[in-house]
Amino acid sequence: MNRWRSAMTLAGMGAFAMYLLDPDRGKQRRARVKDGFVHAGYEAKKFSGRFQRDAANRIAGTVAETEKMLRFEKEGVSDEVLEQRVRSVIGRYVSHARAMEVKCKDGTVELSGWAMTYELDGLIRAVKAVPGVKEVSAFLHSANESGSIPALQGGRGRGGAGGWRNRWSPTQRVMAGSSGLALVMYGLAKRGTMSTVPTIAGVLLLARSVWNRRVAEMAGVGEDAGIHIEKTMRILASPEELYTFLSDPENYSNVFSHVRSVRREGEERYRWEIAGPAGVPLTWTATIVRRRPGKLIEWRSEEGSVIENHGVIHIDPTGDGYTRVHLRMSYVPPAGLAGHAVATLLGLDPRSMMETEFVRLKSIFEEGKTHAHGREVAVSELYTSHPAAS
């Protein structure tokens, strides 16, 4: 068993070395890996700041509650303290806390602003449960999609606070990660079958704390599994022009560098091939399931695809000659979040890729040219086939 593990480790190291030292693309790949580590360090620094603030707030809250219990205080909570409590809850239950205003007066909480529709019920219940809240008045605007609402751009959906089924706070993640690391070290120090259980439990706990996702989601299972991406860009072109291009996926390989080919295989059915990690091609079949000419395209991959994905592109005129293109998509990478982490390390982060491809799309419509596949692409090469019928 030990020899088998050693052989597999050496083979993996050798393959990775060949990938980085390739005479043609090695320099670019090494730069991508370096950028991946730099980005990871930046994210770790940001998380450290969040953890310090979260831990300090929790300690201050615990001290305040303890002092209150010791003094047997019976007077009501001040408006300032109640507002801070409510804001803390809002930050855990909605994805766009800054789009919401909070006012407190004698135990009555008034909420106003914007929120996603699916977050409203959980938010109201959570605010009502805050100690000191007597009544909640909600004057909230809601939206099912964030594409046309500037206050709801970006962010990440919430599902509640704490527990194995939801996102953890920075303090919970650090505590869980520390416990997971301790279990892994304990398991590695032991020998025999009894070392397997703590090692596996430690790895799962450590992964849960790093990615802040349920184990099922990390494996690509469940309604909220996978990676979720949102991107919006204003492009100086008419909705009809953009729809004509975007509604025919066979055009994509001319503009988007990561798309090798898209081939029509039937009515609204397309075979995709993209450049995957280490240059390995990834293929799947997807179907356009909904169209609204000049306004919307929605697609979904077929069941069993190597990369299960689903997305919607909204196309909206802004009234000043520009058109807003808003993309919402989710995908489940091979091997779940572990596969996503490896791809990101190798410079194939889908979010970064989407950013790059949107810039190319904007460039070819506004400047008449862009760079893709290592060469300059002119607007005359935009289409490879007849545009999809509207």
**What is the per-residue pLDDT for 297?**
94
Q: How far apart are CA 362 and CA 354, in angstroms?
A: 12
| Same-domain status, 93 and 37 | no
**What is the per-residue pLDDT for 220?**
55
| Same-domain status, 232 and 377 | yes
**CA-to-CA separations, 106 to 79, 98, 111, 210, 324, in angstroms, rounded:** 7, 23, 15, 41, 44
Question: Parallel, antiparallel, or unpaired for β 369-372 and 375-378?
Answer: antiparallel
Task: Identify any residues that bridge with 312 across adjacent strands, giving them in sequence order.
Answer: 298, 328
Is residue 160 in a domain?
A: no
- Axis-axis angle for helices 26-71, 2-20 (nearest 10): 120
**What is the per-residue pLDDT for 316?**
93
CB-based contact 253:261 (threshold 8 Å): yes
**What is the per-residue pLDDT for 264?**
92
| Same-domain status, 36 and 120 | no
| Same-domain status, 260 and 372 | yes
| Residues whose CB is less than 8 angstroms from the CB of residue 195 and which lie 6 or more positions away in sequence, other chains included | 187, 188, 189
**CA-to-CA separations, 99 to 49, 50, 220, in angstroms, rounded:** 22, 20, 31
**What is the per-residue pLDDT for 253?**
87
DSSP letter for each residue of 86-149: HHHHHHHH-S-GGGEEEEEETTEEEEEEEEEGGGHHHHHHHHHTSTT--EEEEEEEEES--TT-
**What is the per-residue pLDDT for 263?**
92
Domain that holds residue 60: 27-68
Is residue 329 in a domain?
A: yes
Q: Which two tokens stand for residue 378?
A: 């002119």
Q: Which two tokens stand for residue 388?
A: 């999809």
| Same-domain status, 298 and 327 | yes
Mind listing the pLDDT tens digit for each residue in 199-221?
888 888 887 777 676 666 555 55
End-to-end CA distance of the chain: 60
| Same-domain status, 121 and 244 | no
- Three-class SS state of 318: coil
The alpha carbon of 238 is separated from its chain's Cα centroid by a whole number of angstroms, namely 29
The count of domains in the chain is 4
Is residue 164 in a domain?
A: no
**What is the per-residue pLDDT for 289?**
94
Mind listing the pLDDT tens digit for each residue in 32-81?
677 767 767 777 888 788 788 878 877 877 787 777 666 644 556 788 88
Sign of CA dihedral 355, 359, 362, 364: negative
| Same-domain status, 199 and 340 | no
* pLDDT lower than 70: segments of the chain: 1-9, 11-12, 15-16, 19-20, 24-26, 28-29, 32, 36, 39, 68-76, 145-151, 153-167, 192-193, 211, 213-226, 276-279, 333-350, 372-375, 384-390
Find the length of the chain: 390
Task: Identify any residues that bridge with 261 across adjacent strands, giving them in sequence order.
Answer: 273
| Same-domain status, 115 and 257 | no
User: Global pTM?
Assistant: 0.53
Is residue 114 in a domain?
A: yes
